[in-house]
């Protein structure tokens, strides 16, 4: 368990080796991930950026995240949940469009006007978050990097990761840096003493 994000950042740093060569970037994909990325960036003297990703919730169950949409319009859908809630493609598209227009865009206008871009000299990206729960947010980030920016050398850095999620991503990325790996993930609130904002 971590006291807070600062504590998680310090422990995660201990598990990130010295990074060789140039062209590195830290990419935060949540508010908490941005706090962790900023600490790592300061320690390792690396640049970092933020990619905003918004969860799309099922209308029948607001606790259920059925998809994610990135600020660049990249979409990842949990097809198992889509089938479970009997939502067709048009239903999902409408939910995603509403989420993008009325949740994600207003946040972007408050925080940043310019469009998300990567510097041309970036070749290696470490995606940073406070944890990985379902993996949808991480999949959204990875597909954005590969499809829109042709980044092929991708790493993940998270303080805590479930074993099942680790197994999903270990063959997708170059390496996963983490502090703790758990067999059964029970929710972010159970691993941080202080409340974490996603």
pLDDT in tens, 20-59: 889 999 999 999 999 999 999 999 999 999 999 999 998 8
Residue 101: what pLDDT? 96
Domain boundaries, the chain: 5-51+122-190, 54-111
DSSP letters, 101-134, are IIIIHHHHHHH--SPP---TT--EEEEE-S--SS
Helix, strand counts (H, E) of the chain = 7, 8
Pairing type for strands 61-70 and 175-182 reads unpaired
Nearest to 44 by CA among 25, 31, 68: 25
Residue 147 scores a pLDDT above 90: yes
pTM of the model: 0.94
Please state, in angstroms and rounded to a whole number, the distance separating the CA atoms of residues 128 and 77: 21
Residue 61: what pLDDT? 79
Residue 183 scores a pLDDT above 80: yes
Nearest to 65 by CA among 32, 114, 103: 103
Instruction: Report CA dihedral (197, 172, 15, 23) to the nearest 10 degrees.
Output: -90
Angle at 101 between CA 141 and CA 109, to 5 degrees: 80
- Contact assessment for residue 27 and residue 157, using Cβ atoms and an 8 Å cutoff: no
Please state, in angstroms and rounded to a whole number, the distance separating the CA atoms of residues 155 and 129: 12
In which order are the strands placed within the sheet that holds 61-70? 53-58, 61-70, 75-77
pLDDT in tens, 56-109: 998 877 888 999 999 999 999 998 888 888 888 888 999 999 999 999 999 998
What is the third-level CATH fold of 5-51+122-190? Rossmann fold (3.40.50)
Please state, in angstroms and rounded to a whole number, the distance separating the CA atoms of residues 51 and 68: 12
Q: Mean pLDDT over residues 177-198, rounded?
A: 86
């Amino acid at each position: 368990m971590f006291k807070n994000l600062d504590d998680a950042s310090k422990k995660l740093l201990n598990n990130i080796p010295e990074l060789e060569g140039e062209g590195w970037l830290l990419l935060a994909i949540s508010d908490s991930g941005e706090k962790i990325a900023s600490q790592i960036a300061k320690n390792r003297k690396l640049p970092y950026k933020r990619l905003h990703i918004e969860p799309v919730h099922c209308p029948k169950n607001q606790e259920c995240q059925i998809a994610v949409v990135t600020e660049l319009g990249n979409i990842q859908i949990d097809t198992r949940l889509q089938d479970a809630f009997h939502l067709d493609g048009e239903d999902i598209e409408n939910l995603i469009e509403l989420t993008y227009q009325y949740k994600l865009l207003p946040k972007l206008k408050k925080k940043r006007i310019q469009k998300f871009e990567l510097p041309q000299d970036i070749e290696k990206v470490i995606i940073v978050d406070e944890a990985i729960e379902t993996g949808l947010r991480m999949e959204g980030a990875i597909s954005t990097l590969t499809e829109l920016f042709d980044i092929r050398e991708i790493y993940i850095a998270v303080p805590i990761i479930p074993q099942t999620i680790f197994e999903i991503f270990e063959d997708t990325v170059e390496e996963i840096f983490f502090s703790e790996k758990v067999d059964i993930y029970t929710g972010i609130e159970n691993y941080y003493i202080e409340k974490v904002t996603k």
